[in-house]
Structure 1
Amino acid sequence: MHRGDEGSVPASSATGARADPPVCTPFPTIRSHGASVARSHAYDWLALLLLVAVEGLLNAIEPFHRFVGAGMMTDLRYPLKTNTVPLWAVPIYAVIGPIIVFTIIYVRRRNVYDLHHAVLGILFSVLITGVITDAIKDAVGRPRPNFFWRCFPDGIAVFDNVTTGVICHGDASVIKEGHKSFPSGHTSWSFAGLGFLSWYLAGKITVFDRRGHVAKLCIVLAPLLVAAMVAISRVDDYWHHWQDVCTGGILGLVVASVCYLQFFPAPSDDKGFWPHAHFRYIAERQNESQTRRATELLEAMEAGGGGQ
């Protein structure tokens, strides 16, 4: 019996005995349970709004301007190129794309818990990652590999006669971004969103079913490959050092893993197909059904006794 095809928790024993037949329970849909599920997570949605506000504040403040001297320019004179992956594209492939996948699964399975928790989980993943990333960026203030051309757009370097520190005469906003190299935001966001999607797909296609289907593993690794290519583009465009993208990738993947496991069982788990909330819902329905049957039986026994 496939885990994703029934509405109840499959039971099994260590001896391999056949499990008791599940209680048939219809899946909760957006129409039947959407409002109640959203209300039960009202504080989580408020927390997301707070993360958005913090993220905006971190992008508005001036980062720490780390000292850059004349002798440090060797690794900071790379060309100032445009982004291969523009900033506006990141939320499209890292957030909107995965949400489309979640929606397709919902259309096929009609489980509002799965859709709601997947959307909530990925939003937490990318926003927590974004706040951590930008907080570190502002605190570290590491210059980007193309810092020279941000500081001296005309190519004429000016340094302090005493400290040999740079005296920049470029655009203030461009210089500000020049002090935000570590860690890579494109990379951390990519691994946060696409890493969450990878976890989600692993659970949905039961990649760890011990049947040796390598094609399933390819599907799970595909989002991570996209994230890795984005990370490589950041080095190729000379916007980041290799340490920046490595740290960003690890950060995003760790946060994605924690956020996914907050809402879903591990893909290797027997219940890895649906979120934790789905199985709580099934257990509650089963308990209600058993209580109702017990009550009906007791009433029938009392009615029979009274008739004698």
Structure 2
Amino acid sequence: MGSGDEILPMSNRHEGGGSERRKSTLRSKIVDFGKEFGLDWVTILIIGIIALMIDKYVPDVGGKARYFRLLPGESTSPQMEAFGHPYRKQIITFWVSAGLNVGIPALFISVLELCTRGSFIVFARGILGAINSVIMCCFVQILIKTLVGGYRPSWFEICKPQPDGPGVGFDGTWYKWTVCTGDQEKINWALESFPSGHVATSFAAGVFLSLYINAKLKVFSDYRVNPIIMVLFLTPLTLAVLMGGAISADMSHHSYDIVGGAILGIFIAFVTFRSFYVSIFDPRTNHIGLQSSRRFQHRPEIDYCEYRARDLRYFHLP
């Protein structure tokens, strides 16, 4: 018992006792963390590396299999309206987007756990879930880009087509990417329009974080929450929508790319959250983390009461 050490005379105490206990506690937390989440972190890391390798080395099968129509001297066709926009550098680059998708959930989860005095395991599960949602979404959207793809709005400016003969089709005006004379790296990028990876991963991170905030602060529950908590809940969703706005403003994607990316991100966020927690919207259990070693034994009344007494009181909620 810790209290037994406090009543001993100062001369009989071991000077390094407190330090040793702290080291032992730290080692115990590290061991528990490794047992609980070690395999998950390794798996996520491998999936992330595979996704980057696919994006870098696998040819754009879907984009390179497509045809576009080239009508010399005609600049008002529907296809020119869709693919003839000027090329602009992205407002938010890939690495900035990745940093925001990981950094913002990490910041929110850290602050929430500090305010509610949550345990290290609870914090680690939240961070792991958020990163898992982003990386799984990244993996899926890269596969779709590679196998489906499509032309970006600035396709013609990036491609700079110079056909050396008639094309294919009924009127011989349809061509593939092989007639392009532009920069090859930009051409590869311009063949990967669908879906928007920026929007997909932003919604995966934002929706997961909003579900986490709901589970932590019980936004959807049997009482009225403070408006500040509602703002916290809506902030990640707003940031995800703003990401879609930035992608639309710099004409990196079509509207259907953005909508498709949002749907994909939302779906993966829900799937990921449910794979880490007992429920999604049930306020009695959606804060309880699942374990890989044993099944969850449902105790709704006890779990909900214990959670309200332990966590919600730090926010002075009714």
TM over 0.5: yes
CA distance, structure 1, for counterparts of residue 259 and residue 201 of structure 2: 13
CA distance, structure 2, for counterparts of residue 211 and residue 36 of structure 1: 35
CA distance, structure 1, for counterparts of residue 98 and residue 81 of structure 2: 34
Q: Is the 8 A contact 1:126 1:192 kept in 2?
A: yes
Q: Which residue of 248, 266, 283 corresponds with 2:280?
A: 266
CA distance, structure 1, for counterparts of residue 141 and residue 221 of structure 2: 35
User: What TM-score, normalized to structure 1?
Assistant: 0.74
Extract unaligned runs of 5+ from structure 2: 1-24, 72-78, 300-318
Matched, 1:211 2:223: yes
Corresponding residue of 1:161:
166
The alpha-carbon deviation at position 183 of structure 1 amounts to 0.2
Q: Is the 8 A contact 2:102 2:205 kept in 1?
A: yes
The alpha-carbon deviation at position 280 of structure 1 amounts to 6.7
The alpha-carbon deviation at position 270 of structure 1 amounts to 1.1
Q: Which amino acid aligns with 1:122?
A: A
CA distance, structure 1, for counterparts of residue 50 and residue 99 of structure 2: 21
CA distance, structure 2, for counterparts of residue 188 and residue 77 of structure 1: 25
Secondary structure in 2 matching 1:222: helix
Q: Which residue of 110, 113, 128 corresponds with 1:106?
A: 113
Corresponding residue of 1:235:
248
Distance 1:99 1:30, change over 3 A: farther
Q: Which amino acid aligns with 1:37?
A: F
Extract unaligned runs of 5+ from structure 1: 1-28, 284-308
CA distance, structure 2, for counterparts of residue 267 and residue 48 of structure 1: 26
Q: Is the 8 A contact 2:105 2:209 kept in 1?
A: yes
Corresponding residue of 2:304:
none
CA distance, structure 1, for counterparts of residue 167 and residue 157 of structure 2: 22
Secondary structure in 1 matching 2:96: helix
Corresponding residue of 1:250:
263
Q: Is the 8 A contact 2:150 2:193 kept in 1?
A: yes
Corresponding residue of 2:313:
none
Q: Is the 8 A contact 1:126 1:193 kept in 2?
A: yes
Please say which of residues 238-247 and 215-224 is displaced more in the overlay: 215-224
Q: Which amino acid aligns with 2:97?
A: V
The alpha-carbon deviation at position 236 of structure 1 amounts to 2.0
CA distance, structure 2, for counterparts of residue 263 and residue 100 of structure 1: 19
The alpha-carbon deviation at position 33 of structure 1 amounts to 2.7
Distance 1:266 1:74, change over 3 A: closer
Alignment of 1:1-308 (within 5 A): 32-60=28-56, 61-64=58-61, 65=64, 66-70=66-70, 72-108=79-115, 109-152=117-160, 157-159=161-163, 160-163=165-168, 164=173, 165=175, 167-213=179-225, 215=227, 216-264=229-277, 265-277=279-291
Q: Is the 8 A contact 1:206 1:268 kept in 2?
A: no
What's the CA shift string for 1:245-288, capped at 9, x where partnerless? 101001111111111121123243213334245x979x9xxxxx
CA distance, structure 2, for counterparts of residue 88 and residue 219 of structure 1: 25
Corresponding residue of 1:5:
none
Q: Which amino acid aligns with 1:183?
A: P
Q: Which amino acid aligns with 1:158?
A: Q
Q: Which amino acid aligns with 1:199?
A: L
Structure 1 vs Structure 2 CA RMSD:
2.4
Distance 1:162 1:254, change over 3 A: closer
Distance 1:110 1:222, change over 3 A: closer
Secondary structure in 2 matching 1:41: helix
CA distance, structure 2, for counterparts of residue 95 and residue 30 of structure 1: 25
Q: Is the 8 A contact 1:267 1:273 kept in 2?
A: no
The alpha-carbon deviation at position 32 of structure 1 amounts to 4.2
The alpha-carbon deviation at position 214 of structure 1 amounts to 6.7
* Aligned length, in residue pairs: 250
Q: Is the 8 A contact 1:34 1:112 kept in 2?
A: no
Q: Is the 8 A contact 2:149 2:195 kept in 1?
A: no
CA distance, structure 2, for counterparts of residue 54 and residue 147 of structure 1: 28
Corresponding residue of 1:295:
none
What's the CA shift string for 1:103-133, capped at 9, x where partnerless? 2233341412211111111121111101110
Please say which of residues 44-53 and 266-275 is displaced more in the overlay: 266-275
User: What TM-score, normalized to structure 2?
Assistant: 0.72
The alpha-carbon deviation at position 91 of structure 1 amounts to 1.9
Distance 1:34 1:102, change over 3 A: farther
The alpha-carbon deviation at position 86 of structure 1 amounts to 1.9
Q: Which amino acid aligns with 1:70?
A: L
